[in-house]
Amino acid sequence: MHPAFSVIFFTVASGAGFGLFSLLFIADFFKLGGGFNQDQLVAGGLMAMALVVFGLLSSTFHLANPKNAWRAFSRFRTSWLSREGVFAVIFMPLALIYLASIMFDAPQWLRVSSGFLTAVLAWITVFSTGMIYACLKTIRQWNTPLVPANYLALGYASGSLLLLLGAVGAGLDVTPYVAMSALIVSIAAVLKAIYYFWIRSPGLSPTINTATGLTRAKVKLLDTGHTHGTFLTQEFGFQIARQKASLLKVIVFVVGFALPGLMLVWVFNQHGEQMAAIVAAVAGIAGAAVERWLFFAEARHVVNLYHGAQRC
Amino acid sequence: MRLGLVIDLDVCVGCHACAIACKEWNASGTIGPLSDYQPYGAEPSGVWFNRIRHYEMDEYPNNKTINFPMSCMHCEDADCVTVCPTGASYKRAEDGIVLIDQEKCMGCNYCSWACPYGARELDRSSGTMKKCTLCVDRIYDQELPVEERQPSCVLTCPAHARMFGDFDDPDSAVSRTVRERGGYPLMPELNYNPTNQYLPPRRKPVIPVDTKPKGGLKESIKQFANKLVRR
């Protein structure tokens, strides 16, 4: 699949934003490390919302006819893309209610219930983002529950590293934040490792024989019938060399998981070293961006069978 | 009604006339135009509803060239319709034709990702997705003589490799042909239940290929000399 920059930016930014917001609620509810004060909570919440909004705006850049984008909320019953849009839009007012109840010292029940609902909605939205890809039977590398699991784990890992940066900046006790980040980043790393092992041979998949129905002998492509590229070759023809993919997987693990892990140890030992927390957050998000690019680059759509691939 | 096409892979000669006729009719049809990019330039490309690919089956001396026209299969379980977030993609209840409402499409490409057959193509000029309409603006046209109320591709095919009809009717020509010739759908394992069916190439007697008879010494010298002499 062709890796579209706007979609990569959208999924990484909104994933981090939703992750940050839900973890911010947990930090507030349990007063982790002493708890953020009002202004810090509101600033953090607005930052998370800004990530979500920029992500959603960027996702409209890949539309060829964005004037009809408002219609995308209309097929909630069948389309995961529609569901994601609806959940993301419901998230906004709920998140604002939560932040307002912090700012204006609203009764505790309102603060907790709106915060909890927002956190749940954030989870559901990221899950829907993953399901947009996981529900496609045409792409074997995506058609697995590991995809929404990866989207959630990476979104929350990025969010937890941003939250840690906030905790260091606010001078809180970093121990619970380091523990939370370490746990989520390790879960994300393990899930991604399982995914990479799984797509090396992703089970039964269509072949050029089932695609053409000529199952009694070997089939090979003689001619694609078009002079130059088509929409299909542009959108689905993208191919990445195996060696390059392996190198990028190493980068995902070193930059996205190992480096933030190392920085977490540093933050913990130095009781809040700001530079280390910044490096952890930047590396975590950069790793997630590389992971997302590779997620698209490695996906092989079955239409490639009609263009000569023997299996997908 | 469940309207669709039958394509005879045994008969198709790969002339691309169906694709040309399709382009000709639909460029001015209900969801036209079908834009061309650099039609006379270095990198000609554009939107087509129908594409013909060419394959080779088996190996010499049993090999056979298969010409393979493909357009929208008008699937029974069309994921391109269910994934569409705007409701632009829809399947008609009355005849099973899958269409795209050009007024609603936002050009997100998601339906093309869900289609295993590569039937959907984005038109860069209008920013909307386009696909085979089964010539919906032709097959119901009361102004046309009855025998012409068929998709353009079917009417134009010089080899009569294409048939159009109702698969819900067990006695229709398409249903009977599919039964008799062992017609099959493409990629059935994905469970899209495509309506269009393909008729397999018939088995043909293998043409015996004798090895070249060995010439004597005289023949070898003659051949050697022929190679040396430039005529």
**Chain B residue at shortest CA distance from A218:** B58
In this complex, do A64 and B106 lie within 8 Å of one another by their Cβ atoms? yes
Q: Is B184 on the interface with A (CB under 8 A)?
A: yes
pLDDT digits (tens, 9 = 90+) for A246-268: 999 999 999 999 999 999 999 99
**Chain B residue at shortest CA distance from A216:** B58
Q: Is B125 on the interface with A (CB under 8 A)?
A: no
Strand, coil or helix: what is B89?
Answer: strand
Q: pLDDT value at position A282? A: 97
Query: Distance between CA atoms of B73 and A171, rounded to whole angstroms?
Result: 62
Residue of B57, B60, B204 to mutate for A, most A C-beta atoms under 10 A: B57
In this complex, do A79 and B82 lie within 8 Å of one another by their Cβ atoms? yes
**What burial class does residue B212 get, using C-beta atoms within 10 Å of its C-beta: 0-12 exposed, 13-18 middle, 19+ buried?**
exposed
Determine contact, residues A278/A165, Cβ cutoff 8 Å. yes
Residue entry with tokens 């309207």: B3
| Region label for A223, one of left (φ > 0), alpha (ψ between -120 and 50) or beta (otherwise) | beta
Strand, coil or helix: what is B143?
Answer: coil
In this complex, do A221 and B55 lie within 8 Å of one another by their Cβ atoms? yes
In this complex, do B54 and A204 lie within 8 Å of one another by their Cβ atoms? no
Cβ-based contacts of B58 with chain A (< 8 Å): 216-218
Q: How far is B100 from chain A (nearest CA, A)?
A: 14
pLDDT at B210 over 90: no
User: Average pLDDT in the A15-27 region?
Assistant: 97
In this complex, do B85 and A64 lie within 8 Å of one another by their Cβ atoms? no
State residue A75 phi and psi, 5-degree precision: -115, 50
Q: pLDDT value at position B194? A: 97
User: Average pLDDT in the A136-145 region?
Assistant: 95
Distances (CA, A) of A206 to A2, A81, A119, B187: 20, 25, 39, 7
pLDDT at A203 over 90: no
Q: Which two tokens stand for residue B103?
A: 């007024």
Across the interface, which of A63, A132, A302 has its CB nearest the CB of B116? A302
Instruction: Please state the domain extents for chain A.
Output: 5-307
In this complex, do A81 and B187 lie within 8 Å of one another by their Cβ atoms? no
Q: pLDDT value at position B223? A: 83
Q: How far is B188 from chain A (nearest CA, A)?
A: 8
| DSSP classification of residue B105 | -
In this complex, do B85 and A74 lie within 8 Å of one another by their Cβ atoms? yes
Q: Taking each helix axis from N to C terminus, what angle separates A80-103 and A38-59, rounded to the nearest 10 degrees?
A: 160
Across the interface, which of A81, A219, A227 has its CB nearest the CB of B110? A81
Residue entry with tokens 């074997």: A140
**Chain A residue at shortest CA distance from B201:** A214
Distance of CA A232 to the CA centre of its chain: 26
pLDDT digits (tens, 9 = 90+) for A36-87: 999 999 999 999 999 999 999 998 888 999 999 999 999 999 999 999 999 9
Q: Is B54 on the interface with A (CB under 8 A)?
A: yes
Query: Distance between CA atoms of A231 and B35, rounded to whole angstroms?
Result: 12
pLDDT digits (tens, 9 = 90+) for A88-132: 999 999 999 999 999 999 999 999 999 999 999 999 999 999 999
Q: Are strands B162-166 and B51-57 parallel, antiparallel or unpaired?
A: unpaired
> Is the preceding peptide bond at B158 cis, omega within 30 degrees of 0?
no
Q: What is the mean pLDDT of chain A?
A: 94
Across the interface, which of B16, B106, B112 has its CB nearest the CB of A68? B106
- Predicted TM-score (pTM) of the model is 0.92
Cβ-based contacts of B85 with chain A (< 8 Å): 71-75, 79, 81-82, 85
Alpha helices, DSSP H, located in chain B: 17-26, 79-83, 110-114, 136-139, 152-156, 173-181, 217-228
pLDDT at B204 over 90: no
Residue ranges of domains in chain B, CATH in brackets: 3-199 (3.30.70.20)
In this complex, do A135 and B83 lie within 8 Å of one another by their Cβ atoms? yes
CATH 3.20.20.370 fits A5-307, yes or no: no
User: Average pLDDT in the B189-208 region?
Assistant: 90
Query: Distance between CA atoms of B77 and B96, rounded to whole angstroms?
Result: 10
pLDDT digits (tens, 9 = 90+) for B138-154: 999 999 999 999 999 99
Q: pLDDT value at position B213? A: 67
